[in-house]
Structure 1
């Protein structure tokens, strides 16, 4: 029988794909933290190749700034421009409750390392009484963190209290931002125009938004409008993107997955209906997130956002707990 010789290059490609999708699925050889670092680094490289000034900001999972030897993970730190942290002073484990001292100290220790490596820190606390809101802002100011106090966990309201550290400066770099708005849920807005008009009437230095308004993406023209503060100054507009969970209300979700899910889709988050844990190191998931022309990241870049706010970075904790 004549044998067929496979060119070495093709063989290497096949081996790479096999390793990425099968060998890595063996839990005893996966470094879940490094796999998440890798994904963030790959997203950063892809986005910054299109726009060198594009901002990459992972939220939570702050442990990733240190490697297994508890030393700074320099490749990861080089790939990101800031870190986001929820519940630093208020909101964990309950809304409107102070975060317990040991948890706060743990987070502050890691955030300080990020800060020492030149990364800005964006904190979102969750509370709604005037005294706690003021306390949250003041505590973050002492640490030189940029903060936003959300009065609802759903992130569906622009607070009616004055903007803390409001200023008229043009914000052309994240280091110049003094405040930000985090707004993801648009259920109370009847139209995209209403939402844009309300945001345009504010003076926030930086805005974190969802790319989609009722499944319709913002256009580059609309994002450009949002980059102007009411006082005439320029600001940054950042897009939210979950990379540790798949969301069944996103454009990429296929109806067939409800009957037979792909092997990288794991289980539904019991706290957030319609959100599913994913094997984020899987090639097919990466295709959806950043590797093809219709990817989530490409939609964000093409819409003219100044950066991306990466959520569910701490998905590695779920898989570590399963082992």
Structure 2
């Protein structure tokens, strides 16, 4: 009994001493990272920064739909601060492309995604779906299914998103009205890789000749930032209605062809740079909660987001939101 009492006293004393030491040094006891909340915080920070400069700036995170609820379950408590920070959510492979391109997404996976996307819609957050299919009947079905759910969609016939599809000849639900918000849009084009176009002028001309309500493109053509006049010229559809031009940003991975990449990182990488993505060579996982990485993306005059704002984009399309899955699996 005395031995048990002594052990108990020692245990209590140890806990108290650890607590005292933590207070004395200013360090909290180590806790497990909440990678999902880290990503929410990152997106929320981007939104606050951008909307302070341009109040109507549009923020659209792609994938990572589990962030819409606090526990990542479709029945969970809504992540209200996150929902308030975003204007839309992007989702790939909802109807086609989940297992392979031009293949139907399994019903179980589709319905799981829909349960979260409907949360977004009910919360006033627009849904943009990119399906990957090229068979014309699949393309038609993709547009039909997404429209029936109230989603805006794009059927991409190339996973690289480097072309304007020949089919359909005109954008789904094409119209001549002006589009000044996501709510007014009925279709979109995702054309984030311009390398298949022979020149900068050819790329810009091809986009101008379309009637899509929203066009998602890169800030750069090759290594040069698009100018404010070039971005402004893209905001008019071929049918003369106005539209939204959104900039693509990979915030969950660093890309070795971007302006911020330092050659010395290949041998002496910063602490926040993780391993290369084997599916996309040249793309590296990042500790996205790290302030040094976040400073590259937003918050400073030379940040990626400030460059986007400076040339007049209407919003930002944030990719690799689901990077939290990589770190949860480590």
What's the TM-score, normalizing by structure 1?
0.91
4+ residue runs over 6 A deviation: none
User: 54, 59, 66: which one pairs with 1:56?
Assistant: 59
2:277 paired with 1:269: yes
Give a deviation string over 1:103-154, Cα, whole Å, max 9, x none: 1010000000000000110000001010100010000010010000000001
Which SS does the other structure have where 2:329 is aligned? helix
Structure with greater Cα Rg: 2
User: 298, 301, 314: which one pairs with 1:306?
Assistant: 314
Which SS does the other structure have where 1:263 is aligned? coil
Q: What's the CA shift for 1:102?
A: 1.1
Measured on the aligned residues, the alpha-carbon RMSD in Å equals 1.4
Cα distance in 1 between the residues matched to 2:244 and 2:142: 23
Q: How many residues align?
A: 300
Cα distance in 2 between the residues matched to 1:249 and 1:206: 26
Cα distance in 1 between the residues matched to 2:90 and 2:103: 20
What's the TM-score, normalizing by structure 2?
0.89
Cα distance in 1 between the residues matched to 2:304 and 2:195: 22
2:202 paired with 1:199: no
2:184 corresponding residue in structure 1: 176
Q: What's the CA shift for 1:303?
A: 1.1
2:3 corresponding residue in structure 1: none
Give 1:86-101 correspondences, 5 Å limit: 86-101=92-107
Cα distance in 2 between the residues matched to 1:258 and 1:304: 33
Give a deviation string over 1:272-315, Cα, whole Å, max 9, x none: 00000000000100110102111000010001000000000000
User: 43, 55, 79: which one pairs with 1:40?
Assistant: 43
Give the gaps of 5 or more residues in structure 1.
1-17
Which SS does the other structure have where 2:298 is aligned? helix
1:227 corresponding residue in structure 2: 235
Q: What's the CA shift for 1:68?
A: 2.5
Q: What's the CA shift for 1:173?
A: 1.0
Give 1:9-158 correspondences, 5 Å limit: 28-68=31-71, 70-158=76-164
User: 275, 299, 323: which one pairs with 1:315?
Assistant: 323
Cα distance in 1 between the residues matched to 2:49 and 2:161: 29
1:188 corresponding residue in structure 2: 196
Q: What's the CA shift for 1:47?
A: 0.2
